[in-house]
Amino acid sequence: MARHAAWERPSFVGSGRIKHRWRLSIRRAHVMLAEKVSNSIARSFRIPSVPTIAVRVTGGSQIAFSHFKNQRPQPGLSIPSAREEAFVLNIPLAPAFFPIVSIDGRRQSVAQKPGKVYLFDLASRNEVSLSASYDSIRIHIPRSALDGFESEEGMSKVAGLRARSFGQHDPVLYNLGLVVLPLIENTIHSTRALLDHIAVVLFDHVVHTYGDIRRKAASRGGLTAGHVRKVSDYVDAYLSDDLSVSALGQECGLSVSQFSRAFRVSMGVTPHQWITQCRVERAKELMMNTSGELADIAIACGFVDQSHLGRQFLAREGVSPGQWRRAFRR
């Protein structure tokens, strides 16, 4: 059974029911996209549903990441998926040879290699040999996500995505795919803030590399003092929740990408790094002032579990939470 992650767990915050309903609608949209993509892959390639997660990148638009893998070759060609206004980027994790790759009836053989990216337009009729063994990260990018990027960034229209060649060398996307892989396979390994950050970086790279859009000079503007206060208050109030960068951006009236850039200018770190540091500081407060178990403190601070707290605490403080608490008591 495939795992589909929404990354927008609803909670009663801010303006109450209105904001709660908004988060519920976003969560449903994310689950729907993840299920749609996973089921489409399974049907086309005659394999079980694949692990898929959907992440919001602009406005209400999402992109989906799937771990696309099969080690049981079959005869014939894949079933063409329903045509739609979307693009797929296939990032091989291992070499694979496809005797036939057919795009709108034009056939060729393709030897896929790690480090190269293979772009498909889903408005075309795409078919590939099922006789290949393959292991890839698949990124599904709806046209609406590109339109949202144009609107939020004030950029010229992204006509579509195009590669210089079928199998364009792209080490950046390959390495980002490796970072996303464990998050697709087991979403408990991470927080939404981390995946939001990775998705924004990846999407920005895709738009400027394959969308024929020149990168603008980096904005030097940071968050206003009022924005910093809003974000600090929000994080302080809901630190135990699985905070997302999109929720923080909404508090400031900014898109995910706008907020992430402005936040880094003002704070010197990414939102994910800052949230993690806030959680470590809250854990220290609870260890100083309560006798609670470390497992309970970890959950109260928004960590996935005690081991998650331990890894982050050790990375920042140089000692484990237990060692730090014993030293404080002495």
| pLDDT digits 0-9 by tens, 257-282 | 778 888 888 888 888 888 888 999 99
pLDDT at 210 over 70: yes
Burial of 105 (0-12, 13-18, 19+ CB in 10 A): exposed
| Calpha distance 161→167 (Å, rounded) | 14
The answer to which of 33-37, 192-196, 281-285 has the lowest mean pLDDT is 192-196
Indicate where the chain has its CATH 2.60.120.10 domain(s): 4-210
pLDDT at 190 over 60: yes
- Residue closest to 92 by CA, chosen among 138, 131, 54: 138
| Calpha distance 108→278 (Å, rounded) | 53
Q: What is the mean pLDDT of residues 229-238?
A: 88
- pLDDT at 305 (0 to 100): 87
Indicate where the chain has its CATH 1.10.10.60 domain(s): 225-329
SS3 323: helix
pLDDT at 14 over 60: no
Architecture (CATH level 2) of domain 4-210: Sandwich (2.60)
Structure tokens at 110: 């393709």
Query: Any idea which residue has 């990441």 for tokens?
Result: 65
Q: Residues, the chain, total?
A: 330
- pLDDT at 222 (0 to 100): 81
SS3 99: strand
**Contact 44/125 with Cβ under 8 angstroms?**
no
The yes/no answer on whether domain 225-329 falls in CATH 1.10.10.60 is yes
Long-range contacts, stretch 150-153, CB < 8 angstroms, 24+ apart:
151/58, 151/59, 152/58, 152/59, 152/255, 152/257, 152/258, 153/216, 153/255, 153/257, 153/258
| Calpha distance 147→10 (Å, rounded) | 26
What is the overall mean pLDDT for the chain?
82
**Angle at the Cα of 59 (from 155 to 144), degrees rounded to 5?**
70
**Angle at the Cα of 63 (from 60 to 68), degrees rounded to 5?**
155
Amino acid letter for position 222: G
